[in-house]
Structure 1
Amino acid sequence: MVTRKVVIKNPTGLHLRPAGNLCKVAMNYKSHITFMYGQNSANAKSVLSVLGACIKCGDELEFKCEGPDEQEALDALVAAIESGLGE
């Protein structure tokens, strides 16, 4: 299992479009991918879970990846978030 914390930079947070882009990246990997936000955890492959977390600009998420391609998945997720998730 690998983990990393990342801060959301999107000015409007993770609304539908960036949440969908995050899920698309996560679904490219076989690993189980979740993130912690406060005391809650959510499935990074589920748009509803990501939207339900109500993540805003400046919020810190801790991603946890576990599986055969965990490091590649984590690196791709962090790169996608740091690039703004298409926004």
Structure 2
Amino acid sequence: MEKKVIIKNESGIHARPAGVFVKKASEFKSQVEIVFNGKKVNAKSIMGLMSLGLSKGDEITIVANGEDAQNAVNELAALVESGFGEI
């Protein structure tokens, strides 16, 4: 299960949004990864997510494998598309 989303919040994925994303990703049993420019990181790792250096307008792919993969992808995509509530 995977879905492409565009980073919408002005400051990209800095520490606070990364923390929110990792916390949400960790709620799922599925393995969740983020793919950006050919690099794949564990979405449950704040350091991995921060290492991508994501900015507003970047397109990422959220990939999940496991029993709740559909929910994981949908909820994480919604979080990104909401701009993280503009944190």
Q: Which position in structure 1 is the counterpart of 2:24?
A: 25
Q: How does 1:36-75 map to 2 (within 5 A)?
A: 36-75=35-74
Percent of residue pairs bearing the same amino acid type: 38
The answer to whether the 8 Å contact 1:11/1:57 transfers is: yes
Contiguous gaps of at least 5 residues in structure 2? none
Q: Secondary structure, in 3 states, of the residue corresponding to 2:34?
A: strand
Kindly indicate whether the alpha-carbon contact (under 8 Å) linking 1:18 and 1:86 is maintained by their aligned counterparts in 2.
Answer: no
The AA in structure 1 aligned to 2:43 is A
What do you get for the CA RMSD once the two structures are aligned?
0.7
Question: C-alpha offsets along residues 51-73 of structure 1, whole Å, 9 cap, x if unaligned?
Answer: 01100000000111000000011
CA deviation vs aligned residue, 1:26-71 (integer Å, no higher than 9, x gap):
0000000001100101111000001011000000001110000000
Runs of 4+ with >2 A deviation: none
Aligned residue-pair number: 86
Listed as ranges, the gaps of 5+ residues in structure 1 are none
Distance across 2 between alignment mates of 1:23 and 1:16: 10
Question: C-alpha separation between the residues in 1 aligned to 2:8 and 2:81?
Answer: 7
